[in-house]
Structure 1
Amino acid sequence: MMPYRHILLTADFSEHGETIATRAKSLARVFQAKLSILHVLDDIPMPDTGYGTLIPVDTPSEYDLLEAERGKLIALGAELGVDPADLWLIWGVPQDEIVRLAEKIAADLIVVGSHGRHGLALLLGSTANGVLHHASCDLLAIRIPTINDI
């Protein structure tokens, strides 16, 4: 197996995000790979932008919700030692933007969190499932415990 050279961590800032980020950082260290972080804005209204819009991480905004998300991404990047040039903030549909960015930056591994859905939720799909079926690189889905697992 060839070692991974560029790992894309997808960050959603959930309560289990730190576990996923730590595992991605460990993989990057083991493989001596570059680590990039992507946060897709899909749950806040964005003024005057369409889906697929790249939001500059290094340019402050007057939009409070955007600033909050940008601040979280910058803090995570600093915590993991990721170069600010490798932090990505995009407004869009998560699975589409993850796949699109992975191809753009030539990532060879995408790390996502997965709830391990079953039944109807599995049929309806999830971000991890959508990425799995459309990405041209490997995908590592870190299982996020559900309330039933605890």
Structure 2
Amino acid sequence: MSVYSKVLIPLDFHGDNEWIVAKGMKVAADHGAELFLLHVDETLAERYLFESASFSGHLKGFKEEICQESQQRMRALAKEIQLDDAHVLVREGKAAKAIEATVTELGIDLIVMGTHGHSGLQRLLGSTANRVLHSVDCDVLTVRIKE
């Protein structure tokens, strides 16, 4: 029996996503695991903090536009790597919280995610990878993003 049966690759459209996806695909293939891609739109959550009645309609249209763009980018990536659309997820909110919820919802046993290798103040403030590492009950493989 394989160690991993469900692998999640969270992507943020920054840095070298191809490198992260390649690593995640390799691990999933080696273990015969099901592969899921996840993108979390954090900007939507931040924009709604400033929502008021007068901007409600504009923000709703903006939100839908961002969601559609994210869905298109994720579908294109899934098609490129021959992954079923059902395994492509787009969520909104804070990335670490959305990743944690997805892990619980799908029973993920391995996350393969990129890390920028921050130092100094950025490391002190924390990163998404660090938050995920300390909040999920599954293994996390961090892949150093080539910058």
TM-score (structure 1 length as normaliser)? 0.81
- Structure 1 alignment gaps of length 5 or more: 49-61
> Which residue is equivalent to 1:52?
none
Moved over 6 A (4+): 45-48
- Deviates most, 91-100 or 63-72: 63-72
2:27 match = 27
Deviation at 1:80, TM superposition (A): 2.0
Which letter does structure 1 place at the counterpart of 2:29? Answer: R
Can you list the C-alpha shifts for 1:34-88, whole angstroms capped at 9, x where unaligned? 001110011246998xxxxxxxxxxxxx933222111001111112222211111
- Inter-partner Cα distance in structure 1 for 2:42 and 2:80: 24
**Distance of 1:45 and 1:120 partners within structure 2:** 24
Query: What is the match of residue 5 of structure 1?
Result: 5
1:60-99 counterparts in 2 under 5 A? Answer: 63-99=64-100
Return the alpha-carbon distance in structure 2 between the equivalents of residues 145 and 22 of structure 1. 13
Larger RCO, structure (CA 8 Å, separation 6 or more): 2
AA partner of residue 81 (structure 2): L
Higher helix share: 2
SS at match of 1:63: helix
Cα distance between partner residues in 2 of 1:140 and 1:10: 11
Aligned length: 134
Aligned partners of 1:4 and 1:102: how far apart in 2? 13
3-state SS, counterpart of residue 22 of structure 1: helix
Structure 1 match to 2:114: 113
In structure 1, C-alpha distance between the alignment counterparts of 2:121 and 2:14, rounded to whole Å: 23
**How do residues 37-56 of structure 1 correspond to structure 2 at under 5 angstroms?**
37-44=37-44
In structure 2, stretches of 5+ residues that fail to align are: 49-62
Counterpart CA distance in 2 for 1:2 and 1:81 is: 22
Post-superposition offset of 1:111: 1.0
Give the Cα separation in 2 of the matches to 1:117 and 1:15.
13
Map of 1:123-138 to 2, 5 A cutoff?
Answer: 123-138=124-139
TM score, norm. by length of structure 2: 0.82
